[in-house]
Amino acid sequence: MQNSTGFDARGAGAPSMARGLAALLLGAMLGGCHQGQAPAPPPVPVVSIAVQASSGAQSGTPPRYPVEVAARYSNVMSFRVAGQLIERRARLGDTVRRGEVVARLDSADAEKQKASARAALQAAESRLTFAKLQIDRDRAQASQELIAQSELEQTQDAYSAALAARAQAADQLALAQNTLRYNSLIAEHNGVITSENADTGQVVSAGQAVYGFAWSDETDVTLDAAPSDLSLLTIGRAAGVTFPALPGRRFEAHVREISPAADPQSRTYRVKLTLTDPGPDVHLGMTGDATIARASSPSAAAATQSVFEIPATAVFHQDERAAVWIIRSGDSTLELRSINVSAYGERSAYVDRGLAAGDRIVAAGVHTVYAGEHVTPVKPLFAADDMRSEAQKTAAVPRAANIAP
């Protein structure tokens, strides 16, 4: 069949269809090649910091701590018996000596109890004397068979009861004397009155605090140390203490006691130093500074090597080893490097091996990256002075962050 132009419609349409199919196949092939050559993904922003040696770690400068003078032993002074407080002989801040009476209770009732106990003892001694005479007579008569054996036994029983009554009366008198003595509050050690807890005329119960008392025989200097310093603060370690109130004077001391548990509020450890020769000028409550001496042993010298303080969130645990993600300076790709963590703080980790000053590490989100990943370093949101605080807060990359230069 031919059209008006004289061409066969089927013959003309076949080449056109073939060209269309070829164009479609070519487009599909070109599209497949274009998909196989997709561009590389853009760099992933990560929170990073440049590590620096911890303060004083490289120079070996002995750490300094604020300290306070405190009594090694202190307790509350109280009466052993109840009564009305009628006299206070010591006031706040007074120095008292051992055996000195510092307060008294109304002792009228105690004196009457003592007098009654003494009279009861005299009566018991009189009955015991009579019983002794009676048993001597009965024994003499019993030896001559003038009285029955049962009568002698009754006399012996009366004598035994009189003897026991006399011992009981003696104990009651001793108890009354002690009660009368307990009406006077006596210092058992040399010390200083640190607080007043009861007023004259007040009725106090047994054991109620009347004074706070600090012994003056032994004096300690206390400080609060961070967990990272416990390796330096060992029992017996020498220290030097200075007080602003005593300029130009330095006191020798040594570490006496280290608390085994951290304070639940401050998370620090209480350390007590003993002054070698405090002298009379060192008073309770004085504040100053303590410098802990570093040991000269090889192990202590090794402790003065570079120690880097990094956020605890930067530590990546690979099996049982600690590691960090290092950002290579050349191509900004990630490399996993093993480290040795010498100690952990509340928000920090102290690394003594595996890092060098200036290394840039990933500070947060360490479990969302992988080795060889191309990244863009991003400063923490509040990166000026305290990287540790921000690393603790940051769980992912912040959106509104500044790109590090």
pLDDT at position 285 is 87
Neighbours of 402 (CB within 10 A): 11
127 by DSSP, 3-state: which?
A: helix
Residue 302 has a pLDDT of 46
In the DSSP assignment, the letter for residue 200 is T
User: How far apart, in whole angstroms, are the C-alpha atoms of residue 244 and residue 66?
Assistant: 11
Contact between residue 187 and residue 77 where contact means Cβ atoms under 8 Å apart? yes
Two structure tokens written together for 394:
């940051």
Q: How far apart are CA 84 and CA 125, in angstroms?
A: 34
> Order of strands, edge to edge, in the sheet holding 191-196?
74-78, 209-215, 191-196, 95-96
**Contact yes or no for 292/233 (Cβ under 8 A):** yes
pLDDT at residue 103 in the model: 95
Q: Does domain 80-106+183-216 have CATH number 3.30.930.10?
A: no
pLDDT of residue 3: 45
Q: Yes or no: is domain 107-182 CATH 1.10.287?
A: yes
The reply to whether domains 64-72+218-303 and 107-182 share a CATH topology is no
Contact 187, 74 (CB under 8 A): no
3-state SS, residue 11: helix
For residue 86, give every residue at least 6 positions away whose Cβ sits within 8 Å of its Cβ, in sequence order, or none. 104, 105, 106, 200, 201
Low-confidence ranges of the chain (pLDDT < 50): 1-13, 56-60, 296-304, 383-405
What local confidence, expressed as pLDDT, does residue 104 receive? Answer: 95
CA distances from residue 274 to 72, 234, 264, 290, 375 in whole angstroms, order as listed: 9, 13, 25, 11, 54
> 281 CB contacts (<8 Å, ≥6 apart)?
246, 249
The CATH code that applies to domain 64-72+218-303 is 2.40.30.170
So what's the pLDDT on residue 117? 95
Secondary structure (3-state) at 175: helix
Backbone angles phi, psi at 331, to 5 degrees: -120, 5
Distance CA 338, CA 48 (A): 17
Report residue 14 as tokens.
């076949």
pLDDT in tens, 113-168: 999 999 999 999 999 999 999 999 888 888 888 888 888 889 999 999 999 999 99
Q: Percent of the chain having pLDDT more than 70? A: 78
Report the C-alpha gap between 195 and 129 in whole angstroms: 54
- pLDDT on residue 75: 92
pLDDT score of 51: 87
Task: Report yes or no on whether pTM surpasses 0.75.
Answer: no
CATH 3.40.50.1980 fits 46-57+305-393, yes or no: no
Q: Where are the domains of the chain?
A: 46-57+305-393, 64-72+218-303, 80-106+183-216, 107-182
